[in-house]
Amino acid sequence: MYEVEIKVPATLDTVRARLEALDATSRGRVVQTDTYYDAPHRSFGETDEALRIREERLETDDAGASTRADDGGDSNALETTLTYKGPLIDAASKTREEHETKLADGTAMRRALESLGFEPAATVRKERERYGLDGLTVTLDRVDGVGEFVEVETEAETEAAIDDRREAALAILEQLELEADEQLRTSYLELTLEG
């Protein structure tokens, strides 16, 4: 599986209004805390790889109800995932091979990684609002200490499908009146470490 992503800096209030005008489907808000690890046998920073444990907590509305449509109404839901991201493979987007799995026990996974010599490298916290538009995901991100960004994301089953999926993401960017030439191929981790 390949994650195809276009990320640009943006003013979130403006983009949110454009999404509403396009009748995009709100998929709710979450807060994510990503802890990135470095391997004992190589530097992921040098190889352009990433290994992270993500804790995602659903945000609630004023009445205390979850803002995400697919959580079964559990406003205290915490979802933990382990993700490996390979090096960037596309010069025109942030496309990379990705493998992800849900964890029943994030603490146990952290202990296992650290026992194997993996060390926490950095933590990135962000507030995310997700929308669906034309079969793609548009995410409005407010990243602590870094700023506001919009990501347009989709998946490609094969490497041959990457170009078509990237073009679909660029079309969404155009609908949102955002500039593709402002695209950042730098990860939030790298932006956090640079800050």
pLDDT tens for the chain, 195 residues long, are 899 999 999 999 999 999 999 999 999 999 999 999 999 999 998 999 999 999 999 876 544 444 444 544 555 678 999 999 999 898 888 899 999 999 999 999 999 999 999 999 999 999 999 999 999 999 999 999 999 999 999 999 999 999 999 999 999 999 999 999 999 988 999 999 887
Is 188 marked active-site?
A: no
139 vs 94: CA distance, rounded Å: 15
Classify the C-alpha dihedral 178-175-20-150 as positive or negative.
negative
pTM across the whole model: 0.85
Catalytic residue among 2, 36, 131, 188: 36
What architecture (CATH level 2) is domain 2-194? Beta Barrel (2.40)
* The predicted structure's pLDDT at residue 195: 76
* The predicted structure's pLDDT at residue 60: 64
* The predicted structure's pLDDT at residue 94: 86
139 vs 127: CA distance, rounded Å: 10
Domain ranges of the chain: 2-194
Q: What angle do CA 125, 129, 130 make, to 5 degrees?
A: 120
